[in-house]
């Protein structure tokens, strides 16, 4: 099978495609990976899902072929980044820059779920594979006080109830963690969302934030 841009592999034989949306995704603390999204765990690990559906039944790929093409991209990426040319994390081994966590292709819907060694590899792998399901160009995670100090952000924050908080309320709480993201995407947090930076970021529910273009900060615990 000829290797193509990975995002194009999810074109399942139809002209019209749209992103799968799942209204019940957030609010439970468990990521369903049923829409294009980036998942951040409480221990600051990153995964992502690419999910597409077509207007017609798929006639070009089966699940094994889709997984095989994804593995080729992952192996090449990992080798180019100084790691083993593998596509799945081995038990007891250091995490690969990128690993395939799940692949499904059922009827008109295809899904690929990836696990990343660092947030930076999420960004670089998306660029390498032509992933246009988000526009994220930078991603960093850490304790809220550290992330905000390193970024120089000094603005206010918006809470779930629409109220506002100053930066001291965020940096003064040692349990708070932060996602600093440049670009638009859907972020699902294993922990509870506490605040987002005032601007384009929108809290969808207790575990899901939709970021806008530019810099966004998500505070969770």
DSSP string, 71-104: HHHHHHHHHHTTS-S-SSPPTTSPPPSEEEEEEE
Same domain, 112 and 164: no
Determine what percent of the chain is predicted with pLDDT higher than 90: 72
Mean pLDDT along residues 141-168: 95
- For 19, residues 6+ apart whose C-beta sits below 8 A from its C-beta are 35, 36, 51, 52, 133
In this structure, the answer to whether residues 114 and 146 fall within a common structural domain is: no
In percent, the amount of the chain with pLDDT more than 70 equals 85
Pair (120, 151) in one structural domain: no
- Residues 116, 191 within the same domain: no
Task: Please state, rounded to an integer, the average pLDDT across all residues of the chain.
Answer: 87
Residue 203 lies in a domain: yes
**Domain match, 60 and 112 both:** yes
The boundaries of the domain holding residue 153 are 138-220
Bigger pLDDT: 22 vs 56: 56
- Whether residue 45 contacts residue 113, with contact meaning beta carbons closer than 8 Å, is answered with no
Residues 124 and 74 reside in one and the same domain: yes
pLDDT for 59: 62
Give the confidence band of 60 by pLDDT, cuts at 50, 70, 90: low
If 0-12 CB within 10 Å is exposed, 13-18 middle and 19+ buried, where does residue 150 land? exposed
Q: Which of 82, 111, 129 is the last residue of a domain?
A: 129
Q: How much is the average pLDDT of 166-195? A: 97
Q: Is residue 153 part of a domain?
A: yes
The residue from 129, 153, 182 where one domain ends is 129
116 and 170 in a single domain? The answer is no
State residue 66 phi and psi, 5-degree precision: -65, -45
Q: Does position 20 have pLDDT exceeding 80, yes or no?
A: no
3-state secondary structure of 5: coil
Q: Are 71 and 9 in contact (CB under 8 A)?
A: no
3-state helix, strand, coil in the chain (%, to 5): 20, 35, 45
**Domain presence at residue 72:** yes
Q: Report yes or no: 122 and 116 within 8 Å, Cβ to Cβ.
A: yes
Whole-angstrom CA distances from 87 to 1, 42, 50, 99, 181 are 17, 24, 17, 5, 26
pLDDT for 54: 75
Q: 24 and 122: one domain? A: yes
Q: How many domains does the chain have?
A: 2
Query: Does residue 181 sit in the same domain as residue 121?
Result: no
Q: How confident is the model at residue 120 (pLDDT cuts 50, 70, 90)?
A: very high
**Is residue 52 one of the residues assigned to a domain?**
yes
Q: How far is 103 from 45, CA to CA, in rounded Å?
A: 19
Q: Kindly state whether residues 32 and 82 are assigned to the same domain.
A: yes
Are 41 and 95 members of one domain? yes
Place of tokens 């995964």: 47
Tell me the pLDDT band of 16, cut-offs 50, 70 and 90. very low
**Once rounded to an integer, what is the mean pLDDT over residues 151-177?**
94
Residue 15 located in a structural domain: yes
Instruction: Pick the closest to residue 113 from 12, 211, 39 (CA basis).
Output: 39
CA distances from 192 to 67, 91, 147, 173 (A): 32, 29, 18, 14
Among the candidates 129, 148, 173, a domain finishes at: 129
Q: Is the pLDDT of residue 162 over 50?
A: yes
> Does 1 reside within a domain?
no
Residues 31 and 70 in one domain: yes
CA angle (135, 141, 142) in 5-degree steps: 165
pTM of the model: 0.87
């Amino acid at each position: 099978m000829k290797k193509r841009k990975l995002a194009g592999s999810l074109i399942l034989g139809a002209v019209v495609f749209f992103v799968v949306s799942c209204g019940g995704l957030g609010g439970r603390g468990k990521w369903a990976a049923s829409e294009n999204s980036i998942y951040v765990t409480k221990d600051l690990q990153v995964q992502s899902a690419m999910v597409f559906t077509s207007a017609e039944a798929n006639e070009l790929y089966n699940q094994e072929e889709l997984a095989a093409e994804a593995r080729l991209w992952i192996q090449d990426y990992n080798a180019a980044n100084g790691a083993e040319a593998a596509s799945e994390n081995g038990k007891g081994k250091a995490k690969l820059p990128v690993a395939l966590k799940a692949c499904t292709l059922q009827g008109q819907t295809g899904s690929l779920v990836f696990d990343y060694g660092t947030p930076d590899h999420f960004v670089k792998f998306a660029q390498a594979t032509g992933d246009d399901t988000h526009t994220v160009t930078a991603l960093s995670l850490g304790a809220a006080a550290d992330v905000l100090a390193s970024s120089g952000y000094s603005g206010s924050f918006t809470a779930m109830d629409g109220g506002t908080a100053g930066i001291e309320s965020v940096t003064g709480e040692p349990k708070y963690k932060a996602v600093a993201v440049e670009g638009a995407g859907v972020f699902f947090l294993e922990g509870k969302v506490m605040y987002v930076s005032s601007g384009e970021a929108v809290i969808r529910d207790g575990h899901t934030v939709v970021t806008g273009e530019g810099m966004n900060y998500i505070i969770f615990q």
